[in-house]
Amino acid sequence: MVESSRTFDAVVVGAGFAGMYMLHRLRELGFQAVSFERADGVGGTWYWNRYPGARCDVESLEYSYSFSAELQQQWEWSERYSGQPEILKYANHVADRFDLRKDIEFETSVVSAKFNEAAKHWVVSTDRDETVISRFLIMATGCLSSTNMPQIDGIDTFEGETYHTGEWPHEPVDLNGKRVGVIGTGSSAIQAIPYLANEAAELVVFQRTPNFSIPARNRSADPAEVDAVKADYETFRAVNRMAPAAIRGTMPGRDQSALDVAEPERTEELLKRWEHGGFAFMGAFNDLGLNKASNDIAAEFVRERIRDIVDDPEVAETLAPHNVIGCKRICLDTNYFETYNLPHVKLVDINKDPIERLNANGVKTAASQYDFDVVVFATGFDAMTGTLLRIDIQGLNGQSLQDKWAEGPKTYLGLTTANFPNLFMISGPGSPSVLTNMIVSIEQHVDWIAACLEHMRANQHQLINADANAETEWVAYVNAIADMTLYPTCNSWYLGANIPGKPRVFMPHVGFPNYVQRCEEVVNNNYQGFELA
Ligand code: NAP
C-alpha cells in the first residue's frame, strides 16, 4: 500500500446524487475534498440500474435537485416520471455544470477507512493501492448499491447469460427470440418484465411474493404544469417537504380514515387515484399505513383490479398479494399485470413449485425443468447497510463497524454512529432515506453536514462524536415510530428480511417533516447528543 501524501479536509465515498451534492457544498465552503467512485461515471443508482424499463417512481419535477434555482429552471424533463437514461443525463449535466469531475476519482473503490486517534484523522485506503488522509469521512454510498444474489444451488453451472437488474450491462442486451427466465417480482422486475416480454420469445417469471403495484400512468411532460411549477418552484418544493415522504402525492388527500367514508364514495376515491396513477393512491385516506382494517380496503381494491386485468383467474389469484399494501415499497408499473395475458409469458409460483437449482440449461423446480438462454436476477439489494459493511471501517479503539452493527445498524439521526468520530453517512439507516424522495433527503443531509462542518471550523472543534446514549435512544425511537405503523408486518428489505442471516431491525425513520424538526432541534440545542472536542 502506497502511503500518499495527499491530505484532505473531507473524503466523500461515492458520486451518486448524494456524493455530487456533498462535493459541491464542500467546495463552496472552501473545504479540500475528493470523491472516490467505483463506477466510471457519476449517477450512483442511475449509473448501475440500466435494466430495460428502469424509471423513477417519483415525478420528475420533484425528483431533481433544488439547490440551484438556475438548474431547476433550465432543466427540462420530458416525461411525468423520468426514465433511467434521462436521469443519468441529468446527473452528468450536474457534474459538468458544477465542474465536479475534477475532484472525483472514478473506478476507485474505498476498501478501508481507519480512524487514527492520535492524529485525529481518517486513513482511507482504495483499491488503487493508495491511502489518503482526511479529517472527515462522508459515506455517500447509497441505500441500494450492493446487489443481492440469491443463494440458489448451481447458479454457476448455468451455461446461458445471466444478468442482475442492479448491475445491468452498459451495452444493449439482445433478448430477441430468446427464452428468458426472471427471478423476483419486486419494483425492478415489475418495471422490466413488460419490456423483457416485448423482446423475448418466451418469458417465465418465478415469483416468491406477489407485490402490490399501481399504474404509473406515465406520459409526456405537460407544458402547462411545468410552467406553473417553475413560476414558483420554491413553494412547490416547500409543500413537498411537508408531505410524510417528502413526495407531494403521499400527502393524504383527505384527513379521514377509510373506515369513516361510506360506499360508494370510498371506492370512487380509490378509483380516482388508481386512474391518476402513482403514489397518490396511498394518500387516499389518512390511515392506510396505520390501520389494518383501512389498509385491507385499499388492498382488496387493488386485488380486484388485478382480477379485472388478468384474463386467467388462476394467474390473477397468484399475482394478488395478501400482505399489507405499502408494507413493502409499493411498485409503480406500466402494463405489468397485462403482460401475463400474453401467450408467451408464464408465471411460476415458487411457493407451490420451489426452485431446486440452476443447471446447465436453466431452472429446475420441484415439478419441472425450464430451459433458458438468459436468466435475469431481479433479486434486489443488501439494502442500507450492505455497502457500508463491505468497507472495513474502524473507529475508536480499532472497533469495526461490522462488529458494532452485528445485531443491526446503530446510528444517531442516521447521520453518525458513536465512536466513529468525524464520520457522516448520507441517508444512513435511522434516517428517512428510502421512505422518501431520496433527493430531498439527500439535500437535507448534505446541508446538515455542511452546516456542522462550518460550525466546527468556526468554533475550532476538531472532532464530533455521537454520544452512545443519544444513539441508543435514537435507535429505540426509530423502532417505536415504525411500530406505530404497519411497516414491520411483512418481510421487507426495510427490515433486512430479504437477506438470509441479516439482523431484523427496521432501518429507516418513518416520516420526513418530523425528522427534519429533530435534526434542527439538535443543532439549536448546540448539537445535543454529540460531543464536540
Ligand atoms: P426487491 O424489491 O428486494 O425485490 C426482489 C425480488 O426478488 C422479490 O420479489 C424477492 O422475493 C425476490 N427474491 C429475492 N431473493 C429470492 C430468492 N432467493 N428466490 C426467489 N426470489 C427471490 O428488489 P428490487 O425490485 O430491485 O427493488 C428494490 C428497491 O429498489 C425498491 O423497493 C425501490 O425502493 C427501488 N427501486 C425503485 C424503482 C423506481 O424508482 N421505480 C425501481 C426499481 C427499484 P420476496 O419478496 O419474497 O423477498
Q: Are 78 and 56 in contact (CB under 8 A)?
A: no
pLDDT given for residue 4 in this prediction: 65
Mean pLDDT of the residues in the chain: 97
pLDDT given for residue 364 in this prediction: 98
| Ligand 1 center–CA 45 separation, angstroms | 14
Nine-digit cell string for 473: 435512544
Residue 252 burial (10 A CB sphere; 0-12, 13-18, 19+): middle
- Give pLDDT tens digits for 285-305: 999 999 999 999 999 999 999
| Ligand 1 center–CA 188 separation, angstroms | 6
- Give pLDDT tens digits for 473-483: 999 999 999 99
> Whole-angstrom Cα distance, residue 527 to residue 520?
9
Mean pLDDT of 31-45: 98
Residue 391 DSSP SS3: coil
> Whole-angstrom Cα distance, residue 485 to residue 95?
39
pLDDT given for residue 250 in this prediction: 80
Q: Are 258 and 286 in contact (CB under 8 A)?
A: no
Pick the atom of ligand 1 nearest to 329's CA: 32
User: Would the pLDDT of 127 be above 80?
Assistant: yes
- pTM of structure: 0.97
Q: Which of 50, 155, 498, 502 to mutate to test the pocket of ligand 1 (most atoms within 8 A of CB)?
A: 498
Residue 238 burial (10 A CB sphere; 0-12, 13-18, 19+): exposed
Residue of the CA atom closest to atom 45 of ligand 1: 209
- Give pLDDT tens digits for 57-94: 999 999 999 999 999 999 999 999 999 999 999 999 99
* Confidence band for 251, pLDDT divided at 50, 70 and 90: confident
pLDDT given for residue 254 in this prediction: 79
Residue ranges of the alpha helices (H) in 152-264? 187-199, 223-231, 233-241
User: Would the pLDDT of 108 be above 70?
Assistant: yes
Q: What percent of the chain has pLDDT over 70?
A: 99
Contact residues of ligand 1, CB 6 A cut-off:
55-57, 144, 150, 165, 183-189, 191, 208-209, 329, 332, 350, 378-381, 434, 493, 498
Mean pLDDT of 188-211: 98
Distances (CA, A) of 276 to 245, 279, 365: 19, 10, 39
Pick the atom of ligand 1 nearest to 491's CA: 48
User: Would the pLDDT of 3 be above 80?
Assistant: no
Which residues 6+ apart lie within 8 Å of 363 measured at CB?
181, 183, 204, 206, 355, 357, 369, 370, 372, 375
- Give pLDDT tens digits for 320-358: 999 999 999 999 999 999 999 999 999 999 999 999 999
pLDDT given for residue 253 in this prediction: 79
Mean pLDDT of 32-55: 98
Pick the atom of ligand 1 nearest to 184's CA: 7
Residue of the CA atom closest to atom 12 of ligand 1: 184
- Give pLDDT tens digits for 138-197: 999 999 999 999 999 999 999 999 999 999 999 999 999 999 999 999 999 999 999 999
pLDDT given for residue 5 in this prediction: 76
Distances (CA, A) of 129 to 4, 96, 124, 390, 401: 10, 28, 10, 17, 22
| Ligand 1 center–CA 226 separation, angstroms | 32
